[in-house]
Amino acid sequence: MEKFTKELVDTLADKLMIGLTEEENKMVLDEFEIIDKNIDLINNIDNIESVEPMTHALDDFEFELREDVEEESIPIEELLQNSDDTTDREVVVPKVVG
């Protein structure tokens, strides 16, 4: 497995377009070092390969779906009255992605 290095973190950050400061890069490397140590601990557990993966945390989990109850809806025109800016039946919001 490839070890995380400063250069690798910088390369991945550039690909994700999230420039990192030297301090942030060090923080990421420190976090990955902790993760790597924990993975090593898990991998060193005797017979870990024979443990069957779980599909969920609670083996005896039981659930019951509730019955659907039809309720009257509020007319969309009434709901849109709470918005400052609308186009047709949609709320206009500021663009957040460039």
Closest CA to 9 of 39, 29, 35: 29
**Predicted local distance difference test score (pLDDT) of residue 22:** 93
Query: Which contiguous run of DSSP H or E holds residue 57?
Result: none
What's the pTM? 0.48
What is the pLDDT tens value at each position of the chain, 98 positions in all? 678 899 999 999 999 989 889 999 999 999 999 999 999 999 999 998 898 888 777 767 777 888 999 999 999 999 999 899 999 999 999 888 86
**Phi-psi domain of 17 (left: phi exceeds 0; alpha: psi -120 through 50; beta: other):** left
- Spatial distance between the Cα atoms of 3 and 36, rounded to a whole number of angstroms: 9
**Predicted local distance difference test score (pLDDT) of residue 1:** 60
Enumerate residues 6+ apart whose C-beta is below 8 A from 77.
none
Whether residue 9 contacts residue 26, with contact meaning beta carbons closer than 8 Å, is answered with no
* DSSP H stretches of helix in 1-98: 6-15, 22-43, 76-80
